[in-house]
Structure 1
Amino acid sequence: MIRMPFYYWLIFGVLLIVVEIFTPGFFAATLGVSAVITSVVSLIIPSYYTIQWLFFVVLNIVIFVFLRDIFLKYLYGREGNETNISGLVGKEGIVREKIDKETGYVQIYGDMWKAKSIDDHKIEIGEKIIVKQIEGNKVLVKKKDEN
């Protein structure tokens, strides 16, 4: 007979994986994968809830620390170990909020950035861009086909 914690962990995990579809960053997915795997552990040790939670936490840390970068590389195309904001220069992104006279927003590697056109051209939603430079907390971009 399958115990209730199995279903709780499984539903929790699937919901988090679905949430990841709508949010960038692969954080909810790490929790979701950990919860789904913990659901299997709950079948083996059904009455030890503390051990299940401990397993969930440790597994999530392992997945987040060791596997997150691998998944981001294949899902978002991240390469190298550039963690500084200057690592964005030359990278491609997509416009998520129209860039006009002021600023808009672009998505680069699943992260949203405030953006401004380097040559003051309008860039519509869905167009691909290249990051040309960083100015404070904004990325200065140009349409990909204008390079």
Structure 2
Amino acid sequence: MNDIDAWVWWLVAAAALGIPLVVTAMPEFGMFGVGAIAAAVTAGLGAGVVAQVLVFVIVSVALIAVVRPIAARHRAQQPHMASGVDALKGRQAVVLERVDGSGGRIKLAGEVWSARALDTGRAFEAGEEVDVVEIDGATAVVM
């Protein structure tokens, strides 16, 4: 076993670190694996054991220090893609039949919706563009 080069051992270590990465889904193991690959490159270039270990530690710690905060920030963010009736809020619609505080019809996202005005004293005539404020059941509240 002494005739195997150090870079091969580093590649074996990188592959071995890939196993717990897949099993536990902890990205830190992947970062250690990248550090092992960097150490293998260092060994392949003829550097000594101390340099190899330093490269492994520096690359691994740097990746953890940089990637983990970014991943945590992305994990904490709420999804930006609204779906269902939430996706209709804020969209524009065209009035098909007069809309006032008691009702009317609009064309919203290619569909005909019943609608009522947010301000009960306001009325919108056919052909006007309105903004959807909220969806109340099957009725769009517009302004």
The TM-score normalised by the length of structure 2 is: 0.46
